Amino acid sequence: MIIREKEPANLEMPFETLDGFLTPNELFYVRSHFPIPPVDLKTWRLRIEGAVEHPLSLSYEEICAMPTRTIASTLECAGNNRVFLVPKVKGTQWGLGAVGNAEWTGVPLADLLQKAGLKDSAVEVILEGADSGSVSDDPKPTGKIHFTRSIPKAKALADTLLAFQMNGETLPASHGFPLRAIVPGWYAVASIKWLQRIVVTDQPFNGYYQTVDYAYWKENPNGPELLPLTTMQVKAEIARPKINEVLPAGQTYRVIGTAWAAEAEIAQVEFSDDGGKSWQSATLQGEPVKNAWRLWECEWKTPAERGLRTLMVRATDASGQTQPDQRDLNRGTYMINHCLPIEVEIR
């Protein structure tokens, strides 16, 4: 793993090690804002409160005994690819590997909310992690805050999962043991780790991690508006060759990678070996799985001439969304999905 920050741990998958649809737990990127909170399963409880008829306090055993569901879901850090931005922007300098795809097993949030009985006034569901600390960027609240995020009631009821297993194993500590949310199709910031409390609210929540942080400017005829990051933007990434790899001239090379989008499935992946001037279609592998990435490959005849080449890849989803050529500055330090240059040397 590439260490982007030692403590709290921010670890990146070396993306060239991609080896199949599921990312092994030990290679799955780790994004932490605060130290891993200690957990004692004997006293641990998940509380569900707020605009509900019957507030709940559930033990780990009670949750694990409920009917479960297993879904594959790709998680991408909203700052993935940030190291490609020039000039540099603040935040963890992720390369290509702050993304992974795993199978998550747990209890649908809808089942728990049904048990608690949503009141008619419910509009959002706040997910609160046990991790906490102080933030440093202005404008900032004073004192310690928990890592907290809200999602709309509709998303909470649709497909949000509270997972206690990752790829068939007990959820690792760095991924949120004992319980984390999985909000399919959304940037991973919403998939709260170390989940300890769920609060149903009757008005929108304006917490730090969905206003000053993890937000973007949406153009609007009345002026740009600050909105929380939600769904992942369509994107393809090249796993191999890796950046600055040296390749033999005039050979056939199998370029591989993954592509993903929120909701809509990937319709097409294209590859360019001349910095985006010309494109050839890549071949999608396997079958589409909703909210999971899709592997692709492309047979590439490396050029006969020696020198540097800029590879690019771009994905289009079934709704017609394609990766843009240029960065949208209103996205600040997040949602980086323009076509990235992958430079290699032909020798």
In the bound state with a copy of itself, the residue whose beta carbon lies nearer, of 60 and 217, is: 217
**Minimal distance, residue 119 CB to a copy of itself, in Å:** 16
In the bound state with a copy of itself, the residue whose beta carbon lies nearer, of 22 and 89, is: 89
Closest CA to 313 of 266, 247, 250, 245: 266
In the bound state with a copy of itself, the residue whose beta carbon lies nearer, of 43 and 222, is: 222
Cα separations in angstroms, 63 against 40, 49, 51, 171, 174 = 15, 16, 21, 14, 20
The dihedrals phi and psi of 182, each to the nearest 5 degrees, come to: -125, 115
* Under 8 Å between Cβ of 306 and 251: no
**Minimal distance, residue 128 CB to a copy of itself, in Å:** 7
The dihedrals phi and psi of 298, each to the nearest 5 degrees, come to: -150, 125
Q: How many residues does the chain have?
A: 347
Any residues with CB less than 8 A from the CB of 62 and at least 6 apart, and which?
none
**Minimal distance, residue 201 CB to a copy of itself, in Å:** 7
Any residues with CB less than 8 A from the CB of 177 and at least 6 apart, and which?
39, 170, 171, 194
Q: Which amino acid is at 242?
A: K
* SS3 category, 90: coil
- Residue whose entry in the numeric block shows the structure tokens 């989008």: 261
Instruction: Tell me which residues touch a copy of itself (CB under 8 A).
Output: 90, 126, 128, 137-142, 145-146, 148, 199, 201, 204-208, 211-212, 215, 217, 222-227, 329-330, 332-333
**Minimal distance, residue 148 CB to a copy of itself, in Å:** 5
CB count within 10 Å of CB 213 equals 20
In the bound state with a copy of itself, the residue whose beta carbon lies nearer, of 170 and 206, is: 206
In the bound state with a copy of itself, the residue whose beta carbon lies nearer, of 246 and 329, is: 329
**Minimal distance, residue 278 CB to a copy of itself, in Å:** 30
**Minimal distance, residue 210 CB to a copy of itself, in Å:** 9
**Minimal distance, residue 159 CB to a copy of itself, in Å:** 23
> C-alpha dihedral over 172, 167, 158, 99, to 10 degrees?
80
Closest CA to 238 of 343, 88, 85, 321: 343
In the bound state with a copy of itself, the residue whose beta carbon lies nearer, of 227 and 249, is: 227
In the bound state with a copy of itself, the residue whose beta carbon lies nearer, of 177 and 208, is: 208
**Minimal distance, residue 332 CB to a copy of itself, in Å:** 5
In the bound state with a copy of itself, the residue whose beta carbon lies nearer, of 43 and 203, is: 203
- Residue whose entry in the numeric block shows the structure tokens 């509380």: 47
